[in-house]
Amino acid sequence: MCGWKETVRLPVAGHRRCHIWLKDGICLWYTVVYGSVDGICPGGRGAIVKGLRRCLVVTLAVVLAVLSPATAGASQVHGHLLFAGGMLVGPVARYLADDPKLVRMYLLGAAAPDSLWMAHLATVPEVRALLKERYRVDLAQYVEPLPSPVADVHRARPVKVALSLLAAARTPEESAYALGWISHFIADARIHALVNRWGGFYDGDIGPDDARYAAHNSLEALESRHVLTRYRDDLDVKYFAEEDARSPGDFVVRALAAAYPVSPAFRPPEADAFIRLLDKTDALLFLSSRWAYYQGTHDPREIARAKGLLKRFRPELGRMTEVLTDLPGREEYLKTLVRSPFIGEWEIARKDILADGREILPLCVLYLWQRQHGADGADGLLERIGGKLRCLAPGDDLINPRP
């Protein structure tokens, strides 16, 4: 909990480098009203403008998080960070050579498929219409409309996408990003199956009014609370505190063009617009993750006060935080922990995910090494990796129930 004379880092606006010795409620009040604390924040006027701009981005992030028609967030960013961190052992750790830059790319890759899912959402006309109708948000003000829809990488050929990333990786950064992406695949394959089992299968066509939508959202929130309660010390959250942490757009486009050969979205002239969109959805993913982290690390009274301030001074943002699924409070979490076996099963899934990752990621490292050194057998190895991924996601789909 943040208190008087503690360094405050806010999830909302431009304070990353401002160490402000104020009680966070007051600081948040200034942030909400002025976008920044002028005179205290070394960013000055520029930071104010930046802060206000980021408020708008947060609005959009929250809206997209609320919509969630495809449960791509079933395993939330913090879960993915935990799993990716747990797979960072043996040959994988040696391949990344403990280089912080490469580890950051690996963690970025571990979160990236959910950023791609938001990019997919932003190109669905029904979603844009719903945003306008229900939340009075005109997406066109924030994101230029793309001429062609972007496929959801969870449902449309996810195995091919994973293999294309590995095959297209040329630099150590790209290789690290591809490895992180595959850690996300491995986690989603088991966590989505688990959430489907407990929340009832949740189809992309089901709207936010369906009971299964609520069930999924609360299970996802419960998972986040669990990760932030039990594994907080194991989480490497530095990567999403980096404002400039962004996916390598050219590389992602190259891989997606290979995975979706008929889609014009990943080819010139449309590819540039897609890269700009990806940059925005990365920012949205990090900002909404910071809000979840804030919730997971602050007292319920602090969160309620922050929300009250937002509601009062930024009614639009306040409305959004009302409809967003909150992380369950600690008491509620502990009660659920005792009464429901969901977390117990999640823990079993966690062990299976780590075991899968520690088997598959070293094969990926071997493939990257073989290709880099022109060794024989790289293609066969890629096929073998594909076979293992298909076993985890039969039907080549990370969202639908297993056949």
Tokens 């073989």 sit on residue: 370
Q: Which stretch binds Zn ion (CB under 5 A): 114-122, 277-285, 322-330, 357-365?
A: 114-122
Residue 294 token pair: 């804030």
Site for Zn ion in 314-373 (CB under 5 A): none
43 is a site residue for Zn ion (CB under 5 A) = no
Tokens 């028609």 sit on residue: 69
Query: From CA 132, how far away is CA 124, in angstroms rounded?
Result: 13
User: Which of 114, 174, 282, 397 is in the footprint of Zn ion by CB under 5 A?
Assistant: 114
152 is a site residue for Zn ion (CB under 5 A) = no
Tokens 């009040």 sit on residue: 29
Please state the closest distance from residue 277 (CB atom) to Zn ion, in A.
18
Diameter of the chain measured on Cα atoms = 65
User: Which of 72, 116, 176, 320 is in the footprint of Zn ion by CB under 5 A?
Assistant: 72
122 is a site residue for Zn ion (CB under 5 A) = no
Please state the closest distance from residue 114 (CB atom) to Zn ion, in A.
5
Q: Which stretch binds Zn ion (CB under 5 A): 45-53, 104-112, 180-188, 195-203?
A: 180-188
113 is a site residue for Zn ion (CB under 5 A) = yes
Query: From CA 4, how far away is CA 2, in angstroms rounded?
Result: 7
Q: For residue 156, give the DSSP letter.
A: S
Please state the closest distance from residue 161 (CB atom) to Zn ion, in A.
12
Q: Which stretch binds Zn ion (CB under 5 A): 109-117, 165-173, 286-294, 341-349?
A: 109-117
Helix, strand or coil for residue 153?
A: coil
Residue 320 token pair: 């959004």
Query: From CA 392, how far away is CA 403, in angstroms rounded?
Result: 12
Beta-carbon contacts of residue 148 (< 8 Å; ≥ 6 apart): 123, 263, 264, 265, 270
Q: Which stretch binds Zn ion (CB under 5 A): 42-50, 70-78, 172-180, 213-221?
A: 70-78
158 is a site residue for Zn ion (CB under 5 A) = no
Could you list the residues that contact Zn ion (CB under 5 A)?
Answer: 72, 113-114, 188
